[in-house]
Amino acid sequence: MAGRADDWPQWLGPQRDSVWRETGILDRFPPGGPPVRWRVPIGGGFSGPAVAKGRVYVMDRTLSPNAAKPASPFDRGAIPGQERILCLNATDGRQLWQSSYPCAYTMSYPAGPRTTPLIHGGKVFTLGGEGNLHCLDAASGRPIWSHDLKRDYHVPTPMWGFAGHPLLAGNHLICLVGGDGTTVVAFDKDTGQERWRALSAKEPGYAPPTLIRCEGKTRVVVWDPESVNCLDPATGHLEWTVPFTSRTGLSVATPRQAGDRLFVTAFYDGSLMLRLTGGQPQVLWQSTKHSERNTDGLHSLISTPFLDDGCVYGVCSYGQLRGLDATTGRRLWETLAATTADGQETRWANAFLVKNGARYFLFNEKGDLIIAQLSPRGYTEISRAHLLEPTNPDPGRLVVWSHPAFADRCVFARNDREIICASLAQAAR
């Protein structure tokens, strides 16, 4: 069946909003799950794939001979290995090129890179787990420019690595870096020259810089572990800041805007909902509980929330998929059906939410892809298929914590062993 096709060229898709706008997508999975078009072995990593112009870009990591991961994922040593940027043919998975560089890992959870490649204007931009920022020719993999953020800005590797997905705003590539006055830095996308630097925070956090629209102007939100900040993306000028402390530096989930509302959520410290105005925003509501178990609102870790239908949908600290009233933060419903295998609360249990038309595709940490309805009334599961085996043991159980891409009426998903492409196209009638 014919329909609109689209790319997925960066974190959360073409408009960076976790909306999949392709049409001609199946309503339910066929028996046995969606047909797998190809599967290709890769190394470890949390980096999600990006898809653009018939190519798939993804990052991974391979260990050096005789190197071994530490006994505890929280241990921080110097694990030798290399990071790789892979370019595959989207039709058959054939490798078109790869670029690699030595990279000893000093972070916790050292499986591999965290960020999704960003493809624009014939270039691919990548950020590795130890702060290696690269701009490559998207067709050939030829290096164009690069930065070693730790060396260039004299900053340490964050505990969980460099994980804030770079943001392209006009001619500027905006990145979380860290340090005094350099928590966020903008680089010229063509030359790599620094264009501006801004903010000081003890830790940079992990939440990606995010574009918003406010009073008819485009602005960038940087949520570090101390505050939510609004800057002019052209100059880095700070327009406003709202204090919001995130314990242990865990500002992770992408900030989300809906109309004049801006929402952030943290694992320990819960939620903050702002109303955007022409000046300093108004706090509409905020969590009062600072706990991973005794929660109110939404205490997300790595799952990006979704604002829709006057609700906030997201995954809380122990896997509870919740619906909140966006105006008050009042909990409307919750379920564990989408995230945990046995219906038991599980620390950090996760699912990624992507909207397509009037329904959602949820990819959970067990490797299941779920089609579901989310509404103020609750969660209704429509169909489920198992795509990938969970392979990462770091949280004390096997998980897959990589956000999939949706493009060409397919899903592209990876674990620490392989990347697959499965067709989600509606059958011809």
Residues 321-379 pLDDT 10s: 999 999 999 999 999 999 997 889 999 999 999 999 999 999 999 999 999 999 999 99
> What pTM was estimated for this model as a whole?
0.97
CA distances, 170 to each of 3, 186, 187 (Å): 30, 11, 11
Q: Which of 397, 401, 329 is nearest to 365 (CA)?
A: 401
Contact predicate 51/9, CB 8 Å = yes
Mean pLDDT of 202-208: 97
Domain residue spans of the chain: 36-423
**Helix or strand run (H / E) with residue 150:** helix 149-153
CA distances, 98 to each of 90, 101, 178 (Å): 15, 10, 29
Q: Return the amino acid letter for 143.
A: P
Contact predicate 109/76, CB 8 Å = no
Homologous superfamily (CATH) for 36-423? YVTN repeat-like/Quinoprotein amine dehydrogenase (2.130.10.10)
CA distances, 309 to each of 20, 27, 313, 338 (Å): 17, 21, 10, 20
153 vs 185: CA distance, rounded Å: 10
Residue 428 burial by Cβ neighbours in a 10 Å radius (0-12, 13-18, 19+): exposed
Residue 2 above 90 pLDDT? Answer: no
> What is the CB neighbour count within 10 angstroms for residue 140?
12
* Interval 343-352: pLDDT, tens: 899 999 999 9
Mean pLDDT of 382-410: 97
DSSP 3-state assignment of 9?
A: coil
Residue 5 above 80 pLDDT? Answer: no
Q: What is the DSSP letter of 59?
A: E
Mean pLDDT of 242-246: 96
Computed from CA positions of residues 419, 251, 161, 211, in that sequence, does the dihedral angle turn out positive or negative?
positive
92 vs 133: CA distance, rounded Å: 28
Contact predicate 59/45, CB 8 Å = yes
Task: Name residue, tokens 């604002």.
Answer: 307
Q: Which of 234, 219, 210 is nearest to 15 (CA)?
A: 210
- β pairing state of 351-356 and 359-364: antiparallel
**Predicted local confidence at residue 69, as pLDDT:** 77
Residue 212 burial by Cβ neighbours in a 10 Å radius (0-12, 13-18, 19+): middle
CA distances, 168 to each of 123, 216, 283, 413 (Å): 12, 19, 28, 23
Phi-psi region of 348 (alpha: psi -120 to 50; beta: other; left: phi over 0): left
Q: How many residues make up the chain in this entry?
A: 429
Task: Place 36 in a pLDDT band, splitting at 50, 70 and 90.
Answer: very high
